[in-house]
Structure 1
Amino acid sequence: MTTTVSAVQVRRLVPADALAFQALRLSGLQAHPEAFGSSYAEEKDWPVERVREWLTVRPDTGVFGAFENERLVGVVGLGRQTRANFAHVGFLWGMYVHTDAVGRGVGRALLDAALALARSQPGLRHLTLQVNADNRAALALYQSFGFVEIGREPDAMRVGNGFCDDIRMYLPIATR
């Protein structure tokens, strides 16, 4: 599936995109450490083979990338719980749009693509995500898609010498 927003093309990433994905992710980890569960220090020395594994195409999960003039400017991952009792739950992870691409619909296009894949999956009933409680733009974007807050974890993540609250959000994608 490929989606276009103005000059931005959104598609599933494949292992050949590993270097571009890794560079963008590391940029995001440096620019917005409060937005990720991982850190630049943890990922900066990862071998590209490890990153390629994240981008292996699977039928019910994937990483979507937004490209502008062949430059990767945004990403979001769709995962799915693998244990039988939780296989009805999907989750979004790693959403990041490069600063120079913010405000042009890139995040919306990425979410459209990830949600289209999620909705096509038999047995997948809902999606969850976690977002920094101070990230008003991300919260507004997720809410515009119908995600609702289902909980707040105070001091969920340590960033440097401070702590950030996380908001957990939920979106039903299948009817009973």
Structure 2
Amino acid sequence: MEIRQLNRIDAEEYLSIRLEALQNSPYAFASSYEEEKNQTAEKYKNRFETPIHTFTFGAFEESQLVGVVTLVKEQLLKLSHRANIVAMYIKPENRGNGIGKALISKVIEKAYNLEGIEQIYLTVVTTNVPAKKLYTSSGFEVFGKEKRALKFDNTYYDEEHMVLFL
């Protein structure tokens, strides 16, 4: 397994896994497949080409992108000590073999090496027990619960807010 920051040549494969994630786990993301299905790889080529505030990492097995995670630095002055983990996804057939742990470790390492970042935030749907275990085992702590944070197909999903202080 290889973990590395994505670049513009990964954009097509990233778009594919992103759309798969939105279809397979619609309750886990604020965005929806319907909202993103018409996106082009160009959006991601541009984002990956000049990563200043957004850093996306991929896990590759046999040259195939099987997992992704993004770290976003806050831009406002008073929030500039913070970063957020978003868009984490691992293909179902690749779960349970350490890819998630490797991706989270890589993102934490990146945040630690970014000047001024002191804490990392994320949200996780309360019913996603494997993800919650992963984040807790990586040092994240729950600091709040948002009831009915997401609504999909007339079903509400609660989210836990988690933080890791570096």
> Match of 2:20?
27
| Aligned residue runs from structure 1 range 1-176, under 5 A | 8-58=1-51, 61-173=54-166
Percent identical across equivalent pairs?
Answer: 34
Aligned residues: 166
Unaligned runs of 5+ in 1: 1-7
Shift of 1:55: 2.1
Shift of 1:36: 0.7
CA contact 1:60–1:117 (8 Å) conserved in 2 = no
User: Given the two structures, how large is their TM-score scaled by the length of structure 2?
Assistant: 0.96
**Aligned Cα RMSD in Å?**
1.1
Shift of 1:47: 2.0
CA contact 2:68–2:87 (8 Å) conserved in 1 = yes
Provide the C-alpha distance between the structure 1 equivalents of 2:19 and 2:26, rounded to a whole number of angstroms.
10
The residue matched to 1:55 in structure 2 has which SS? helix
Unaligned runs of 5+ in 2: none
Provide the C-alpha distance between the structure 2 equivalents of 1:86 and 1:115, rounded to a whole number of angstroms.
18
Shift of 1:100: 0.7
Amino acid at match of 1:105: G
**Deviates further, 59-68 or 86-95:** 59-68
Provide the C-alpha distance between the structure 1 equivalents of 2:74 and 2:38, rounded to a whole number of angstroms.
27
Provide the C-alpha distance between the structure 1 equivalents of 2:9 and 2:30, rounded to a whole number of angstroms.
25
User: Given the two structures, how large is their TM-score scaled by the length of structure 1?
Assistant: 0.91
Shift of 1:59: 5.0
Shift of 1:57: 3.9
The residue matched to 1:45 in structure 2 has which SS? coil
The residue matched to 2:49 in structure 1 has which SS? coil
